[in-house]
Structure 1
Amino acid sequence: MKVFTAIFAFVVVFQTSMYTAKKTNTEKRTITVLVTNVSSDKGTVSYALYDKENFMKVPVQAKSSSPKGKKSTVVFTDIESGNYAIICFHDENNNDKIDFQPNGMPLEDYGVSNNPMSFGPPNFDEAQFEVSDKNVTLEIKF
């Protein structure tokens, strides 16, 4: 009888730990993004969170924040596990778009998650990060 009770207790504990692990992996997370080198406190900093399938097309979420002390922070909430990338820019003139020179170079500061040093448009593979079992905090530099 003692052996049966011990086995039963072990099975209950094991199943409970499996349920807890499964539940943890399906919980939604937050992504906190901080830009520390905004050129001024004018305008807004606009952020777009993308998955690979919709990169630079339709964001999973979009947020904006008014810079204070040349810093800007946003929090993306209810994020499912997966790989994501963030693109942000300083919309200093509040026209809701990034402005470009005639040759295609941006006139307004922008940044990408992981801060890759590349010329040309952002690349998902360089910018991607994983959201899994805990909340994510990122710092992006313009």
Structure 2
Amino acid sequence: MTGHDGSTAGRRTSAWATGAARRTWRPLFVAYISPVPTSYAPGTAVVPVVEGEADALAWLRADVIDTLPATTQAGLDVHAAASTGDAASELARPADEHRADVLVLGAPERRLHQLIGSVPAWMARHAHCPLVIVR
């Protein structure tokens, strides 16, 4: 299972997870978690990249699944999901539900996340499966 957000790290993470799924003949589960829009000051809202579950699933398919070479897609069972909320808990839930063999996440790119905490740091403490952090 992997999370994908459209970033460079997200693409590397999806590629690593795809390779692992192919090597182990296991399904690939890709999730996009849209952050809850928040505002720290008037006029400075954090807006999700994709709005709505249907749009998010279509975007995941176009950005991750449809970009895989036909030889990679052959025989690969791919599932996509989208939800809104806290990325860490929203990734942990389907990982538990689908009994993920491994959870593949990207390393935090922003210095602030490295200092105050990140999704991979939270998952390292709370995940019920092995965690791979791709840089």
TM-score by length of 2: 0.26
When normalised by structure 1's length, the TM-score is 0.25
Q: Which structure is higher in strand share?
A: 1
More helix by proportion, 1 or 2?
A: 2
